[in-house]
Structure formats: C-alpha cells, structure tokens
Amino acid sequence: MSNILELKNIGYSYHNLHGETRALEDISFGVAEGEFVAVVGPSGCGKSTLLSIIAGLLTPERGTILVNNPDGSIRHPGIGYMLQRDHLFEWRTVYRNVTLGLEIQKKLTPERLETIERLLREYGLEKFRDKRPSELSGGMKQRAALIRTLALDPRLLLLDEPFSALDYQTRLTVSADICRLIRETGKTMIIITHDLAEAISLADRIIVLSGRPARVKREIPVKLTLKDDSLLAARNAPEFQDYFNSLWEDLTYEK
C-alpha cells in the first residue's frame, strides 16, 4: 500500500518578541491512499498549523514532508483545502464561486467545466448556479465549497474543522453528507476536528495530538459495526462509546 503523504519528524515554532512558541514537535505519520484520517487534540495545540504545513502554506522548520505528487512540485497541486467556514464570495454567483480555483489556475477547460456541471447536478445545486451564496442553506454552501475544492481534482483533501461554523443539527447532517460525497470520489482525507463523536463517526484512523508542543500521542484505527447507512448509524454502533471514552481519557489526561 502506497502512502500518499508521509510526515517525518515535523517541527514548527512561532516566533515573536517574547520568544519562541513551539507548536509542533517531532510529528511523524503516514496517510494511505483513500484513507480518512481525523486529527484531534486539545484546543490550541497546533492542529491547524499541522494542516497548513501539509497544505504547503507554511514551511516546516524541522523535518520533511513527502507528498506523493507525480511531478514532485512544491505548490502541492494535488491537495485541496477546506477551511473552517465555506468562504463563498458574496460578489460572485454560486457558479463563479465553484469555478474560482480553475479560474486562478487558468484551467477553465471544457473537461473541467464538464466535471463541475456533473458535480452541480449530483449535489443538487444546478438550480442555484446563478444565485448568490447568501441564498443557499448552510448545507448547500458546504456542498458548493466542496465542489470548489474538488474542481481542481486534488488527491488529498484537508478539512480544517470545516463544519464548526454550523449549528449542531445542521452540522450532524452536513458533516455526514460531505464525508459521504468525498468517500464516493475515492479521495484521501485528513480532517481536523475537536468534536470526538465526529472524528469517530467519520474517520478510519484517529491521530491524537498532545498539548503544546504537539506530538503524536496515539493513533487509533476505528472499526465500527454499522447496522445501516443512516446518519446516526456510526454514533449508534456498539463500539462508539468505547472509542469515545478512550479518546476522552487521552485528551482529559492531557489537561
């Protein structure tokens, strides 16, 4: 099995006049193709920093990242990043929002646009293509943001607490919905979350980070016996509570 991403002894510190704040220390893990990995950890431990490093927005001070990009480019074109909010631009229509990435990379080719058309159809956004983002529901906005990310055909998706701006009920639906859609594309995903239930229900493997400076404290493979395909199936699985308690202990002990 080939790892799409390999992190080796990654370290990163923030610097200001008062001194150095170590955010990440000696982080190593790999992510296999098609795998869903959730990263959890105490708040402020540097989860987002880790994701920014993987996305190539920050350069690690120590260690190496191997991104399995065929052309070995530095810009990580194979990575799609979903931020904490959908960040759809109100001054663009939904359609012009989802084509933003292609526009920036000057890849508005017929094939790519065809893909976007297909995704808009599949995700039920076709009718809303000429609407403004504010006219969409929270779930539809997330779907639009997902299309914007998928339009560039990334192999690895990074989700930085992508549903944290939604209210609880919408969040349950939308997170399951978005992750199902990503599963269907067969892409690899790393999701950062502080919601343990979300991590257990969505991921194949959970990486627990320690408090600052963050190290990999534990890696937990998740295997749930699912009765059906419903939204709450994962949360009703018999093993769910065990995973939850074990993670809870890991994080509580940290504080």
Partner 1 sequence: MRNNSKKELTKQEEFMRRHRRHHHEIALWRALVFVLFLALWELSADLCWIDSFFFSSPSRVVLCLVKQIRTNSMLFHIGVTLFETIASFLLVLFFSLVMSTLLWCSTKLSEVLEPYLVVLNSLPKSALAPLFIVWLGTGAKTIIVAGISVALFGSVISFYTAFRQADSEKITLIYTLGGNRRDAFMKVVLPGSVPMLLSTAKVNIGLALVGVIIGEFLAARRGLGYLIIYGSQVFQLDMVITSIIILCVIALLFYKSVQVIEHQIRIRFKM
Binding site for partner 1 (CB under 8 A): 55, 57, 75, 77, 79-81, 83-85, 87, 89-92, 100-101, 103-105, 132, 148, 152
Q: How far is the CB of 217 from partner 1 (least distance, A)?
A: 27
Amino acid (one-letter) located at 222: V
- One-character DSSP codes across 20-86: EEEEEEEEEEEEETT-EEEEE-STTSSHHHHHHHHHTSS--SEEEEEE--TT--TT-TTEEEE-SS-
d(CA 13, CA 22): 4
Query: In terms of CB distance, is 86 or 177 closer to partner 1?
Result: 86
Query: In terms of CB distance, is 7 or 51 closer to partner 1?
Result: 51
Q: How far is the CB of 101 from partner 1 (least distance, A)?
A: 4
Query: In terms of CB distance, is 27 or 79 closer to partner 1?
Result: 79
Q: How far is the CB of 49 from partner 1 (least distance, A)?
A: 13
d(CA 35, CA 76): 18
* Segments of 143-204 assigned E as strands: 156-160, 188-192
Q: How far is the CB of 55 from partner 1 (least distance, A)?
A: 6
Query: In terms of CB distance, is 52 or 201 closer to partner 1?
Result: 52
The three-state secondary structure class of 147 is helix
Amino acid (one-letter) located at 33: E
Q: How far is the CB of 155 from partner 1 (least distance, A)?
A: 14
Query: In terms of CB distance, is 87 or 217 closer to partner 1?
Result: 87
